[in-house]
């Protein structure tokens, strides 16, 4: 039997996904505990660029695009609510996104994006190089054409994750930081319908009394560390960390970037206070978060090709984070064989964008046992 003071739900991982779900469940009057082996928001959720860009990622819209678009549509009210609850601002910017083409190949790629999305009824604008430069004067002279997507926005994900944690705390969520989950304790035979998670065990040195936490339900939101946690339960989750490196500049005057500018995985994202982020790399180098010379050189080459003046701006800092990638690059949402273990992980390059919709569907699943939007395609059983 569960001790009466046990939470209803324990969330493993206090990144943007864990904090968003925690907030929604607490608002639904559930007793929620979030455990994180570091500080909430200390991993990918702070390392990201904060682009909320489903259209910028899509040639031919599909079901995954619809999930991402639903989340983008939730963003204005999500941000307003989190800002009000936390008393913090989160740097939400609605200036749109400019996709630029520098070569014949990239011009053809943007043409395909334009045709695919207009056929689907999505708004986006085709711009000549001069028209693009009128919006972003710092653009490189080699830019040949561009697409302007008014609906793809951005947010300061570092601020948003901190504000979410504060909002969740104020809503009653209990946080245990520096509390690494080491294993799940399950009851019932593997593959039997009655199999359940009874508790999680925490690493020695953790301040949680008894080093074990019981709950009615457990949510796995441990980013790219999720797979190793469920492997001992016999759950196969093919996930790999995908390292992304980033540089932050102070950019002003002729190097000013007023809106997100992007070509493939090279991009520039403006932030408050005259800052601009330049990204990124996509490297499969294990759980190593090193910033490397080669990574920085490749980002700087991207900057040179997008807006060379930014390269001459004052350097502020560089960092790397690990995107939780899956074998099919899609998130893992919902439950598998063990009905009280719910997955909310594997958001790869879009976890900031997908946070509001993930929180919505996982909360619905816990409260009602079903979701308003189908998540059947994202269940963990697809990897069995
Ligand atoms: C360089 C870069 C750029 C990106 N840009 C964008 C972007 O522009 N837009 C976008 O939408 N997405 C972007 N992403 C992706 C986005 O950052 C991720 O998809 C998202 O942050 C995943 O959130 P999460 O909460 O699942 O994981 P995380 O933020 O990694 O959080 C997982 C948490 O689990 C905790 N944890 C792990 N193991 C344990 C354990 N055993 N016990 C307890 N706690 C544990 C960790 O400490 C961590 O805090 C980017 C990522 C990177 C790296």
Cβ atoms 123, 150 nearer than 8 A: yes
Q: How far apart are CA 251 and CA 254, in angstroms?
A: 8
Is 75 inside any structural domain? no
Q: How far apart are CA 340 and CA 196, in angstroms?
A: 6
Extract long-range pairs of 61-64: CB within 8 Å, 24+ residues apart.
61/116, 61/117, 61/120, 61/122, 63/377, 64/330, 64/377
181: Cβ below 6 Å to ligand 1? yes
Q: How far apart are CA 65 and CA 58, in angstroms?
A: 7
Is 119 inside any structural domain? yes
**Nearest atom in ligand 1 to 36's CA:** 44
Is 343 inside any structural domain? yes
Q: Are residues 234 and 334 in the same domain?
A: yes
Q: Are residues 357 and 254 in the same domain?
A: no
What mean pLDDT comes out for the span 80-87?
A: 98
Residue 323 burial by Cβ neighbours in a 10 Å radius (0-12, 13-18, 19+): buried
Partner residues linked to 283 by β-bridges: 243
Q: Are residues 118 and 234 in the same domain?
A: no
Residue-averaged pLDDT of the chain: 96
Cβ atoms 138, 255 nearer than 8 A: yes
Contacts of 13 (CB under 8 A, 6+ apart): 34, 35, 36, 220, 221, 222, 223, 225, 226, 345
357: Cβ below 6 Å to ligand 1? no
Q: Are residues 164 and 212 in the same domain?
A: yes
CATH code where residue 165 lies: 3.50.50.60
Q: Give per-residue pLDDT as tens, 230-272.
A: 999 999 999 999 999 999 999 878 889 999 999 988 999 999 9
244: Cβ below 6 Å to ligand 1? yes
Q: What is the pLDDT of residue 256?
A: 92
Q: Are residues 255 and 278 in the same domain?
A: yes
Q: Are residues 248 and 377 in the same domain?
A: no
Whether the predicted pLDDT of 205 surpasses 90: no
Q: Are residues 269 and 370 in the same domain?
A: no
Number of folded domains that form the chain: 2
Whether the predicted pLDDT of 3 surpasses 70: no
Cβ atoms 46, 24 nearer than 8 A: no
Q: What is the CA radius of gyration of the chain?
A: 21
Q: Are residues 164 and 201 in the same domain?
A: yes
Domain boundary among 286, 304, 326: 326
- Residue closest via CA to ligand 1's atom 21 equals 45
Domain range for 264 is 97-150+240-326
321: Cβ below 6 Å to ligand 1? yes
CATH code where residue 283 lies: 3.30.9.10
Q: Are residues 247 and 314 in the same domain?
A: yes
What mean pLDDT comes out for the span 72-96?
A: 98
Whether the predicted pLDDT of 1 surpasses 70: no
Q: What is the pLDDT of residue 211?
A: 84
Q: Give per-residue pLDDT as tens, 155-164.
A: 999 999 999 9
Q: How far apart are CA 80 and CA 66, in angstroms?
A: 22
Q: Are residues 132 and 265 in the same domain?
A: yes
Cβ atoms 149, 124 nearer than 8 A: yes
Q: How far apart are CA 370 and CA 380, in angstroms?
A: 16
Is 74 inside any structural domain? no
Determine if residue 210 is left, alpha or beta; phi over 0 gives left, psi from -120 to 50 gives alpha, anything else beta: left
Partner residues linked to 33 by β-bridges: 10, 174
Whether the predicted pLDDT of 122 surpasses 60: yes
Q: What is the pLDDT of residue 80?
A: 98
Is 90 inside any structural domain? no
Which of 43, 52, 230 for mutating ligand 1's site (highest number of atoms within 8 Å of CB)?
A: 43
351: Cβ below 6 Å to ligand 1? yes
241: Cβ below 6 Å to ligand 1? no
Domain boundary among 326, 350, 369: 326
Domain boundary among 326, 343, 367: 326
Is 299 inside any structural domain? yes
- Residue closest via CA to ligand 1's atom 18 equals 351
Q: Are residues 167 and 188 in the same domain?
A: yes
Is 195 inside any structural domain? yes
Is 108 inside any structural domain? yes
Which of 70-79, 124-133, 204-213, 364-373 comes out lowest in average pLDDT? 204-213
Written in H, E and C, the secondary structure of the chain is: CCCCCCCCEEEECCCHHHHHHHHHHHHCCCCEEEECCCCCCCCHHHHCCCEECCHHHCCCCCHHHHHHHHHHHHHHHHHHHHHHHHCCCCCCECCCEEEEECCHHHHHHHHHHHHHHHHCCCCCEEEEHHHHHHHCCCCCCCCCEEEEECCCEECCHHHHHHHHHHHHHHCCCEEECCCCEEEEEEECCCCCCCCEEEEEEECCCCCCHHHEEECCEEEECCHHHHHHHHHHHCCCCCEEEEEEEEEEEECCHHHCCCCEEEECCEEEEEECCCEEEEECCCECECECCCCCHHHHHHHHHHHHHHCHHHHHCEEEEEEEEEEEEECCCCCEEEECCCCCEEEEECCHHHHHHHHHHHHHHHHHHHHHCCCCCCCHHHCHHHHC
Whether the predicted pLDDT of 2 surpasses 80: no
Q: Are residues 320 and 309 in the same domain?
A: yes
């Amino acid at each position: 039997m569960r001790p009466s003071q046990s939470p209803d739900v324990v969330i493993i991982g206090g990144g943007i996904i864990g904090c968003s779900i925690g907030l929604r469940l607490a608002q639904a009057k559930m007793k929620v505990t979030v455990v994180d082996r570091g500080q909430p928001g200390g991993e990918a959720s702070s390392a990201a660029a904060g682009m909320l860009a489903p259209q910028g990622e899509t040639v031919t819209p599909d079901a995954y695009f619809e999930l991402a678009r639903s989340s983008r549509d939730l963003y204005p009210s999500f941000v307003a609510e989190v800002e009000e609850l936390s008393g913090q601002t989160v740097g939400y910017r609605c200036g749109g996104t400019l996709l630029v083409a520098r070569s014949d190949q990239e011009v053809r790629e943007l043409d395909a994006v334009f045709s695919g999305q207009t056929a689907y009824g999505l708004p986006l604008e085709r711009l000549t190089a001069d028209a693009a430069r009128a919006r972003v004067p710092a653009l490189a002279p080699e830019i040949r054409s561009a697409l302007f997507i008014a609906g793809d926005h951005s947010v300061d994900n570092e601020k948003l994750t901190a504000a979410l944690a504060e909002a969740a705390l104020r809503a009653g969520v209990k946080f245990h930081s520096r509390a690494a989950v080491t294993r799940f304790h399950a009851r019932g035979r593997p593959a039997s319908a009655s199999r359940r998670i009874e508790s999680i065990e925490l690493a020695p040195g953790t301040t949680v009394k008894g080093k074990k936490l019981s709950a009615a339900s457990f949510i796995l939101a441990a980013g790219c560390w999720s797979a190793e946690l469920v492997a001992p339960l016999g759950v196969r989750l093919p996930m790999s960390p995908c390292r992304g490196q980033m540089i932050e500049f102070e950019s002003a005057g002729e190097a000013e970037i007023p809106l997100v500018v992007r070509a493939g995985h090279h991009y520039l994202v403006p932030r408050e206070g005259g800052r601009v982020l330049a990204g990124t790399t996509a490297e499969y180098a294990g759980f190593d978060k090193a910033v490397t010379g080669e990574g920085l050189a490749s980002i700087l080459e991207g900057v040179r090709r997008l807006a060379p003046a930014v390269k001459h701006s004052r350097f502020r800092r560089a960092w790397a984070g690990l995107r939780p990638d899956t074998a099919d690059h899609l998130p893992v949402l919902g439950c598998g064989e063990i009905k009280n273990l719910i997955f909310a992980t594997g958001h790869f390059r879009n976890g900031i964008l997908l946070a509001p919709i993930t929180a919505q569907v996982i909360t619905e699943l816990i409260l009602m046992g079903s979701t308003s939007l189908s998540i059947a395609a994202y269940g963990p059983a697809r990897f069995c």
